[in-house]
Structure 1
Amino acid sequence: MNLIADITRIVQTAGPLLRSRFTATARPTDLDGVLTALRANDDAVLDLIKEPLLAARPGSGWVEDELEGGELPLGEWWIVDPVEGNINHIHGMTDWAVTATLVRDNEPILTVIHLPLTEETYTAAAGAGAFLNGERLTVSTKTSLPAAMVATGQAKPGESAETFERIGRSMTSMLTASLVVQAAVPATLRLIQVAAGRMEAFWQYSDVRSGLLAGALLVREAGGTVTDLAGKPWTLTSPDFLAATPGIHQAALDVLAVA
């Protein structure tokens, strides 16, 4: 059985559903409307892909809360974001995807990221490389942070004031040190750009698993470096995150260390 091909087919089944639910003219008018639309999208996709994903890996578990962080019990777990960038989808913006990542003993072993509007599917398996529609990905070869495009973003609504202050300070530092800084959600859509060599770094002050695991595996398998902001290998218990091309990773750490 080719597991990653099977998971790709399952994840891609959500594409037509989400395209049918998407309209560029969507304009929620209040918070209740936003939350209702978010839940409806999530529920519709989960109804379609949850059971097939569990069946594809008998005995695997399912992480219910996509905004959780921290370690999981040993064994295999599915960490799925049914609409990564859901907030963009319900506001008529195009930056959203479906992600499914299989974790074994707290290490990601495969991931599929599908962008229904562009029919792009990013895949990676531990030790087997990263791919876009079957074509191998390689991170950027830049070695100069002043020539680099970098990005960050908040992980979820309601972050602490301290986290917001760190984001602001880090952006100010990176605006001085790098070529261009983006601040956007979702994280996965920035991380695919790092893996594809279109951007050089993404950092975040967060341990939200669903927003980082898929992109972390993709960047690693494309030849990138993934650590916390102390330079230690990133894990599910890390409080923060940096994925970068090797040529600017240390420079980015140096800038963020004083932010």
Structure 2
Amino acid sequence: MSGTATGTTPDTALLAQVTAAVRTAGDVLRERRTPHARGTSTDEIVAEAHANDDAVLDVLKEPLLAARPGSRWADDELAGGALPPGEWWVVDPVEGNINHVHGMSDWAVTAALVRDGHPVLAVVHLPLTGDDYTAVAGGGAHLNGVPLRVSAKTDLGAALTGTGQARPGEDEHTFRRIGASVTQMLVHGLVVRVSVPATLQLIHVAAGRTDAFWQFSDVRSGLVAGALLVAEAKGAVTDTHGTPWSLTSPDFLAAAPGIHAAAVAVLSPIA
């Protein structure tokens, strides 16, 4: 993956602009936070989540598009699959929106630039801590400017791993796959975390705090930023059968290299 685009701002220089824009969006989201859950019915919860999205996009969408003239915006944050050629912003204005609405702390603002189907730049900002996880293709992954490296573990039996659902209302077959995968990883691993959102598990894989994350999904906005962070932190990013991951992959696995093959052996039979 290239770290620059002909005739435009190099991605390394663009990173500072994107980080500033995402941090501004994070300020808005932090101000909207409440210590209690908002809404009791599904309709009320969805309305609160949409209000969060709208407030963030009001300050984030225009600066990102302006930072990369000619780039386009992937509107549906729950969509998956390939994007047309060119540069696309894949953004989750509130990654972990359900947590934010329920007064919890596991949420972030994420922005990734995808060029011709490959993520080349990513920023994950945690407004409550002020932390910035950043990556540029070929330039490594960083936390507040400090390089990240995935776990050095080689024994799946000692591994802390994680998974979760990608969107509300997944089909029953996906739920059964999730359940079966958790059972098998509990048998073969040490501890399994089941939580949302995906990105907040993937930053821990990139930082070497956890050892693997998998998901039976192709939702772009929850995967592309974390995929680049893990890859740039020298992790393995594939589907659950060990094939290199792409936007068209039906599922996802990010792992420390030393346990990746073992994780594939556990997950690949689950159909």
**TM-score strictly above 0.5:** yes
State the Cα distance separating 1:26 from its structure 2 match.
Answer: 2.4
Give 1:238's aligned residue. Answer: 249
* Cα offsets for 1:89-132 (capped at 9, x unmatched): 01000000000000000000100000000111000000000000
**C-alpha separation between the residues in 2 aligned to 1:188 and 1:79?**
13
1:75-224 equivalences under 5 Å are 75-224=86-235
**C-alpha separation between the residues in 1 aligned to 2:265 and 2:82?**
27
Is the contact between residue 160 and residue 189 of structure 2 (CA under 8 Å) also seen in structure 1? Answer: yes
* Cα offsets for 1:141-197 (capped at 9, x unmatched): 000001000000000011111111100000000011111000000000000000000
SS of equivalent to 1:79: strand
Is the contact between residue 38 and residue 48 of structure 2 (CA under 8 Å) also seen in structure 1? Answer: no
Give 2:39's aligned residue. Answer: 28
**C-alpha separation between the residues in 2 aligned to 1:40 and 1:183?**
26
**C-alpha separation between the residues in 2 aligned to 1:210 and 1:69?**
8
Aligned length: 259
* Cα offsets for 1:30-80 (capped at 9, x unmatched): 111101100000000000010000000000000000000000110000000
**C-alpha separation between the residues in 2 aligned to 1:88 and 1:30?**
15
* Cα offsets for 1:237-256 (capped at 9, x unmatched): 00000000000000000011
State the Cα distance separating 1:19 from its structure 2 match.
Answer: 1.1
Give 1:248's aligned residue. Answer: 259
How big is the alpha-carbon RMSD for the aligned residues of Structure 1 and Structure 2?
Answer: 0.7
**C-alpha separation between the residues in 2 aligned to 1:35 and 1:135?**
37
SS of equivalent to 1:191: helix
The one-letter amino acid of 1:61's match is R
**C-alpha separation between the residues in 1 aligned to 2:105 and 2:91?**
19
**C-alpha separation between the residues in 1 aligned to 2:262 and 2:175?**
23
SS of equivalent to 2:223: helix
**Unaligned residue ranges in structure 2 (runs of 5+):** 1-8
The one-letter amino acid of 1:251's match is A
The one-letter amino acid of 2:167's match is K
1:2-21 equivalences under 5 Å are 2-21=13-32
* Structure 1 runs (4+) greater than 3 angstroms displaced: none
**C-alpha separation between the residues in 1 aligned to 2:71 and 2:100?**
29
| TM-score, length-scaled by structure 1 | 0.99
**C-alpha separation between the residues in 2 aligned to 1:201 and 1:151?**
6
**C-alpha separation between the residues in 2 aligned to 1:258 and 1:109?**
31
SS of equivalent to 2:187: helix
The one-letter amino acid of 2:235's match is G
Match of 2:82 among 71, 75, 84: 71
**C-alpha separation between the residues in 1 aligned to 2:119 and 2:236?**
15
Is the contact between residue 122 and residue 136 of structure 2 (CA under 8 Å) also seen in structure 1? Answer: yes
SS of equivalent to 1:82: strand
Is the contact between residue 155 and residue 258 of structure 2 (CA under 8 Å) also seen in structure 1? Answer: yes
